[in-house]
Amino acid sequence: MTRHIIPLDIVAKKTSAPAGAGCAAKSCGTDTAGSDLPPEVWAKVKDHPCYSEQAHHYFARMHVAVAPACNIQCNYCNRKYDCANESRPGVTSERLTPEQAVHKVAAVAARMPQLSVVGIAGPGDALADWRHTFETFDLLSRQFPDIKLCLSTNGLALPDHVDRIRELKVDHVTITINMVDPAVGEDIYAWVFYDHRRHTGREAARILHERQIEGLRRLVEAGILVKVNSVLIPGINDAHLAAVNETVRGHGAFLHNIMPLISDPAHGTRFGLDGRRGPTPAELKQLQDHLGGGARLMKHCRQCRADAVGLLGQDLSQDFTMDRVAGMTVEDRPEERRLYREFVERERLDREQAARVAERGLSAAVTVPPLLVAACSRGGGRVNQHFGHAREFQLYEVDGAGIRFVGHRRADHYCQGGHGEEDKLEAVVKALDGVSVLLAAKIGSCPSDRLKAAGITVITDHAYDYIETAVAAVYRSHRAAAAADGQAMAQAS
Amino acid sequence: MAYKISAADCTGCGACEADCPSKAIRMKGDVYAINPDKCTECVGKFDSPQCVAACPANCISHA
C-alpha cells in the first residue's frame, strides 16, 4: 500500500461550490484559468510550480542532485556547508548518480501524484559537467514522459548545449543573472573557468555576461521558456537590477525572479565572512514594486535546496534520502497523476471564480490604505493550516483595486540560532513585520495574544476558505470599521 | 611530476575529473585522486594544469 506523502484532502476540503457542478471547464468558456498568456505558453507553465504562481498551490517539484561540479565561484556560494534544516540553493545532503536519481524520482512519483516537474539545479552547475545532467534527463524522459524537465544554470556553458536541451524537451531553463555590467560583476564573482583557463576580475565577469546573454537569446529562439534569477545584493547590485530586468526582458525572458541574498558567516561564503547583509523584506518588495512594469516578476520563489522535494515551501527532502528511498517500492502510477491534474483543472477554475467574486466587492467610494494580510496555507490556495504548523506565510496586499499576491515570509529560513517555542514565536513576529491581519485555520491562545500585542489581528473564521475569499472579507470589514470610526469622529466633533 | 588532491578539502564534485585531458583522475571513496603515473601536469597541452584551474575547493597542488 502506498502512502501519499502530501494528503490529497488539503485541497479538497470544503469545496463550497463543487467544481464541475454547474461550472464545468468548457461551459465557462475558458480552459485557461487565471491566465492572460497565449494558450501554448499556458500549457507549458500551468503545472509548473515555479513558473506559475497559481500552480505552486497545487503541484510539487523535485530537484535531483546529480551535478556537483561548478565552473564559476560566486561570492555568495559555498557548497561545502550542508545542513538538513537549511533551504538555500547549492545545498544538498547527497549526490546522486543518474540511475539513483531515476530511482528517487520513481519513489517520489509513486507517493506524490502532485509531482509535475523534475529539475536539476546543482548542487553545482547543471551544465558544468553536463554528462550526468543529460544522462539523467534522457532516462527520465523515457520512464516518465508526462513529467516536465527543467534545469538551472549560471549560463557559462549554456550556449554549447542549447540544441541538446531542446532535443531532450526541457521546456524550462533558469539562468542566474546578477549583472549586465562587468564592473558590477567583478564584485560578485571570484573567478570563472572557461576555455581551459581560470579568469578573474572584470574579465571573468565580462565572459560570464556575454555567455549568459548568448545562452538566453538562443534559448528564446528555440522556443524554450527562460526564467532569470537575480540575487539582490545590497550595496553591490541593488541599484543595478532594474537594468538587468530591462535587458533580460529585451531578450525575451519569460520570468524574472529577484531573490534576497542569503548571507551568514557560518556558511563560509565570501559575502558571509565579509559581513555583507541580505536585504530586508521591505527592500525586496520596494525593488519588486519598482519593477512592476517590467518582465513578469516571480514572487513565490523559495530558494530551494538542490535536493528539494514537495510543494514549494514544504520541503520533504529528508523523507527521501537515498537510505529511505532504497527500501521503497516504486510502482509508477501515471493514472494518479493524470487524475490529479484533472482535479486541479476543476479546482483552479473554482478558485478563480471565487477570487473574481471576492474582488467584485472590493471597490467602493470609501477607500482606505492597502492592507497586508498573511495566510497560513498548506496548499490548494486555501486558509487550511494551523498557525503552529506554519513554517511560512503567504502574503497578500489588498485595497479597493484588488488582491495582489506579494510573496511569502519564512520564520525558519535557515538555522536562526533560536531554541524553544518562545524564540520561535518572536522570530515569527519579526517575520510578519508590517502585516496587519493573520489568517489561520486554528491558533492557540498564547501565540494569538502575542500576535495581538504586536498589533496583528488574528482571524480563524475563514478556515478552509480560498485565500482570496478570506482576504476580501477581511478588507471589507476593515473598511466598514474605518468608515464607522470616521462617522463616530464626525458626530463627536 | 604530478599534482595531488588534498582529500580533506576535496568536496567530491568531479570538476577536475571532467577537465583532466590525461584521464588521470578517478573517484576514490568519497573524493577524487590523481594517478601520478598518468598526470602530465598538462605540459604541452594547456597553459595551466586544468584540475588546479577548475577546482572550486582550491585543493589541488604540487605533490
Domain locations in chain B as residue ranges: 3-62
- As a CATH number, domain B3-62 is 3.30.70.20
Domain boundaries, chain A: 33-326, 361-492
Residue A4: the pLDDT is: 55
The predicted model scores a pTM of 0.80
Quick: pLDDT tens for A131-144.
999 999 999 999 99
Give the span between the Cα atoms of A450 and A459, in whole angstroms: 14
Instruction: Measure B37 CA to nearest chain A CA, in Å.
Output: 22
- Asked whether this complex has an ipTM greater than 0.90, the answer is yes
Residue in chain B lying closest to A80 (CA): B11
Residue A413: the pLDDT is: 42
* Angle (deg, nearest 10), helices A130-143 and A98-111: 40
Quick: pLDDT tens for B8-59.
889 889 999 999 999 999 999 889 999 999 999 999 999 999 999 999 999 9
Look up the CATH superfamily of A33-326. Answer: Aldolase class I (3.20.20.70)
Quick: pLDDT tens for A138-186.
999 999 999 999 999 999 999 999 999 999 999 899 999 999 999 999 9
**CB spacing of A73 vs B56 below 8 angstroms:** yes
Residue A374: the pLDDT is: 94
Q: What letter represents residue A344's amino acid?
A: V
Count how many Cα atoms sit within 13 Å of the Cα of residue A212 in the half-sphere of its side chain.
29
The secondary structure of chain A in percent helix, strand, coil, rounded to multiples of 5, reads 40, 20, 45
Direct distance between the N- and C-terminal alpha carbons of chain A, in angstroms, rounded to an integer: 71
The whole-chain average pLDDT of chain A stands at: 83
**CB spacing of B15 vs A124 below 8 angstroms:** yes
Residue B63: the pLDDT is: 77
Distance set, CA A162 to CA A147, A149, A170, A214, B30 (Å): 20, 14, 10, 10, 32
| Contacts B19 to A, Cβ<8 Å | 193, 196
Interface test with A, best of B5, B9, B10, B11 (most A CBs within 10 A): B11
Tell me chain A's radius of gyration from C-alpha atoms. Answer: 23
Residue A177: the pLDDT is: 97
Residue A253: the pLDDT is: 92
Options 3.40.50.12500, 3.30.420.130, 1.10.760.10, 1.10.10.10; CATH of A361-492 = 3.30.420.130
